[in-house]
Amino acid sequence: MWQGLGCLKVTKAIITAAGRDHNRLPLQVLVDSDGTEKPAIQIIIEEVASAGIDEAAVIVTPLDREAYAEALEGAPVKVHFVEQSKPGGYGHALLCGREFVGTSAFLHLVSDHLYLSGRAERCAQQLVDVARAEACSVSAVQPTRESMLPYYGTIGAKGVHNKQRLYQIEKVLEKPTPTVAEQELMVPGLRAGHYLCFFGMHVLTSGVMEVLANAQAASKNGSLGLTPALSELAIREKYLAYEVEGRRYNLGQKFGVLNTQLALGLAGRDREEILSQIIEVLATRPTVK
3 occurs within a structural domain: no
Is position 4 within any domain?
Answer: no
Interval 261-274: pLDDT, tens = 999 999 988 899 88
Number of domains in the chain: 1
* Helical H segments across 81-136, by residue range: 90-95, 98-101, 123-134
* Per-residue pLDDT, 74: 94
- Asked if 57 and 81 touch (Cβ cutoff 8 Å), the reply is yes
Calpha distance 139→131 (Å, rounded):
9
CB 155 within 8 A of CB 141: yes
Strands 153-159 and 194-204: antiparallel
Query: In angstroms, rounded to a whole number, what is the distance separating the alpha carbons of residues 25 and 156?
Result: 30
> Are 234 and 172 in contact, with CB atoms under 8 Å apart?
yes
Reported confidence tier of residue 289, pLDDT bands at 50, 70, 90: low
Nearest CA to 18 out of 98, 79, 77, 83 is that of: 83
| DSSP-assigned states of every residue in 161-176 | TT-TTEEEEEEEEES-
147 lies in which domain range?
Answer: 10-284
Q: Is residue 114 part of a domain?
A: yes
Would 243 be classed as within a structural domain? yes
Q: Which of 36, 44, 54 is nearest to 17 (CA)?
A: 44
Note whether residue 132 is domain-resident: yes
Judge whether 191 lies within some domain: yes
Model confidence over 83-114: pLDDT tens digits? 998 889 999 999 999 999 999 999 999 999 99
CA dist 136 and 234 (Å) reads: 11
Residue 289, domain member (yes or no)? no
Tens-place pLDDT, residues 199-241: 999 999 999 999 999 999 988 777 899 999 999 999 999 999 9
Mean confidence (pLDDT) of the chain: 92
Residue 5 lies in a domain: no
Task: Provide the CATH number for the domain around residue 231.
Answer: 3.90.550.10
- Res 177 pLDDT > 80: yes
pLDDT at 259: 95
